[in-house]
Amino acid sequence: MTEESAKEDPVRNMGPQKGAPDEGVQPREKWANKMEFLLSMAGEIIGLGNVWRFPYLCFKNGGGVFFIPYFIFLFFCGIPVFFLETALGQYTSEGGITAWRKICPMFEGVGIASQVLVIYLNIYYIVVLAWAIFYLINSFQSPLPWSTCDNYWNSALCHSHASIFANPELFRPGSNWSFLNNITSPDYFENFGYENVTDPFMMNSPEEEFWFHRVLRMSDDMSLGKVHWDLALCLLLAWVICYFCIWKGVKSTGKVVYFTATFPYLMLIILFFRGVTLPGAAEGIRYYLFPDLSKLTEPQVWIDAGTQVLFSYVVCQGVLTALGSYNKYNNNCYRDCLALCCLNSATSIFAGFVVFSVLGFMAYDLDIPMYQAVSSGPGLAFIAYPKALSLLPGSSFWAVLFFLMILFLGLDSQFVCVESLATAITDLFPRYLRRPGRREILVLVIAVVCFLLGLPLITEGGIMLFTLMDNYGVSGTNLLIIATAETVVIGWVYGADRFYDNIEDMIGYRPFPVLKYCWLFVTPLICILTVLYNLTQIGTVSIYGYQLSASMIALSRLLVATPLICVPAFILIALCRNPLNMSTPSSDLRQARPHKPVLTLCKHVIFKSQGPPIRRADERNEKMMMEEPLRV
């Protein structure tokens, strides 16, 4: 490639802007130390999915047997893509969009697609934090408002249950139990036998009524016009906290994560020791881990394992690339990624003991089958687990601890997503946004826009929008297709051997060779097969018994199509801009071995080198090699 062609390429010329000597443009920030990077990564990947999804999937898919497909997907899909994105960010020192532009201009759409998913997350994920804040505020009441049936939102079908473990005095002769039901008739026990009252087909628990009637307040027509002011204030508070965690960039983010990433572990440990000492805990843990080998023959078990790995490791969303981009060039990101993956999976397994020990106690205390006590997602966090905690002595104290844990688990995941989006936008326009005061304004604009877009999710029909965005926006199909695109671009277009050379130049040695073949063959094959299976399972969808209308079905399809259409769209854009350099990496990327083949298989050259870089790039690389040790 000639110097003239490089000048004619408008995409390539935008890459080196971060080093432009314009007056007032600040240099790109770096993490103050490795611990800030590790805690930020841990805070992002360790979130609500570890607590409210992984334990349920183990219970549902064969207990301990579920670990087999889970770790297979982790080793051959999760870790390769996790390391790929982190190393890409560290190598390019760019956010989730410009990193792909520099690696391969025609696949800039892969980065755009990942940022669309981040926008989805920034809009709907923080609603969970608003719910958690709402529950946390109500946790300071005694008794807990979701444990009784004498509230204005309760119906005549509400029936509570007094725990013999927490209230032994109620089980003495002559005790008055009328407070358990929202019926104050003096002949209560004559008209309603205890067995009939607890019939699950006739009665509602107060926890369910608090969730549906007090928090969600769903209407028959699922209207989106009436915003609940109290939830709106909780959502606003969540955004205010999120904003001040990251408004100064990695300088503030790196300090905040010292608390937000470690505090949930303290809560998990406290809840663990309380849970395992409760009656019935052993039975709950047995249900969590009891192996059922027959489950391994069911395709859905493997699909659940694959999607859980992708969700839990936050791949294909540009977040890992953004966090890795603030590392020093010679940071050992390979070792960091392996340690973080071990921590994430260990946390998921440990959280299962915390959840199922308490649910086992609830099943024991209520004398119900274990399968009736288990749920997943919001149903676990806002119905099942609060119900179990309400059966404990000092229930308000345990509820406060639990919802603080939920809040901080979601908070660091949320503000790192906002940080990722801000990083991507800043790296797109560094001349304008990397100036004093611009960062704070950009994050404020993101927060305000996402807050306003999130208001429809806390209306009477908001739960339907929330579920649509969760199921179709950041869906397994989107993540799988983007993961396929990322591995194909790095493995086959940019060249797996060239990327290995880049990594060796950064960390001093070559990673385990299996990663290369995962990028080339295993990961894309697994992802494609999983997508094809998912497409065969599409059917009629209902949310809380409401069938999706035609407009909602159209919205769900739009949520899926919007990020995916970015990939082919930007291929066409690159074709129109400069068809001769669509796959040529940016000249300011450091290439330690420019003369080596970019891809070899079994010692056979598949793609030769693209020739020596132009003289201007050589000079820049030499300057980087001299300056880099000073930055480490």
> SS in 3 state form for 261-321?
CCHHHHHHHHHHHHHHCCCCHHHHHHHHHCCCHHHHHCHHHHHHHHHHHHHHCCCCCCHHH
Please write the tens of the pLDDT for every residue from 235-259: 999 999 999 999 888 888 989 999 9
Please write the tens of the pLDDT for every residue from 109-121: 999 999 999 999 9
Which of 313, 337, 490, 326 minimizes the C-alpha distance to 423?
Answer: 326
Residue 563 banded pLDDT, cuts 50, 70, 90? very high
With respect to residue 35, please indicate whether it lies within any of the assigned structural domains.
Answer: no
Residues 191 and 256 in one domain: no
Residues 349 and 453 in one domain: yes
Please write the tens of the pLDDT for every residue from 407-446: 999 999 999 999 999 999 999 999 999 999 999 999 999 9
Backbone angles phi, psi at 604, to 5 degrees: -105, 135
- Angle, in degrees to the nearest 10, between helices 263-276 and 395-428: 150
Both tokens of 66, joined, read 């579920």
With respect to residue 540, please indicate whether it lies within any of the assigned structural domains.
Answer: yes
Cα angle, residue 521 at apex, residues 502 and 108 outer, rounded to 5°: 55
Poorest-pLDDT segment among 55-64, 278-287, 381-390, 535-544? 535-544
Residues 177 and 317 in one domain: no
Average pLDDT over residues 509-533: 95
Contact status, residue 145 vs residue 214, Cβ threshold 8 Å: yes
Residues 614 and 586 in one domain: yes
With respect to residue 490, please indicate whether it lies within any of the assigned structural domains.
Answer: yes
Residues 514 and 557 in one domain: yes
Residues 318 and 466 in one domain: yes
SS3 call for 511: coil
Contacts of residue 231, defined as CB under 8 A and 6 or more positions apart, other chains included, come to 130, 131, 134, 215, 458
Domain termination site, one of 216, 249, 272? 216
Residues 115 and 190 in one domain: no
Domain termination site, one of 175, 190, 216? 216
Residues 513 and 500 in one domain: yes
Which of 351, 358, 347 minimizes the C-alpha distance to 384?
Answer: 358
Q: How many CA atoms lie within 13 A of 282 on its CB side?
A: 1
With respect to residue 224, please indicate whether it lies within any of the assigned structural domains.
Answer: no
Q: How many domains does the chain have?
A: 2
pLDDT at 164: 55
CA distances from 320 to 36, 94, 387, 419 (A): 14, 11, 36, 11
Residues 106 and 155 in one domain: no
pLDDT at 225: 79
Look at residue 137 and tell me whether its pLDDT is greater than 50. Answer: yes
Query: What's the chain's Rg over C-alpha atoms?
Result: 26
Q: What is the CATH number of the domain that holds 390?
A: 1.20.1740
Residues 466 and 586 in one domain: yes
Q: How far apart are CA 245 and CA 414, in angstroms?
A: 10
Query: Which of 199-213, 385-399, 484-498, 600-614 ranks highest by mean pLDDT?
Result: 484-498
Please write the tens of the pLDDT for every residue from 42-54: 999 999 999 999 9
Please write the tens of the pLDDT for every residue from 286-339: 989 989 999 999 998 999 999 899 999 999 999 999 999 999 999 999 999 999
With respect to residue 537, please indicate whether it lies within any of the assigned structural domains.
Answer: yes
pLDDT at 580: 86
Contact status, residue 130 vs residue 145, Cβ threshold 8 Å: no
With respect to residue 236, please indicate whether it lies within any of the assigned structural domains.
Answer: yes
Cα angle, residue 45 at apex, residues 300 and 216 outer, rounded to 5°: 75
pTM (two decimals): 0.88
Residues 461 and 417 in one domain: yes
Average pLDDT over residues 24-36: 90
Domain termination site, one of 183, 216, 249? 216
Please write the tens of the pLDDT for every residue from 159-170: 887 655 555 555
Element (H or E) spanning 94, and its range?
Answer: none
Contact status, residue 373 vs residue 126, Cβ threshold 8 Å: no
Q: Which amino acid is at 173?
A: P
With respect to residue 41, please indicate whether it lies within any of the assigned structural domains.
Answer: no
Range of the domain at 172: 145-216
Residue 4 banded pLDDT, cuts 50, 70, 90? very low
Residues 185 and 84 in one domain: no
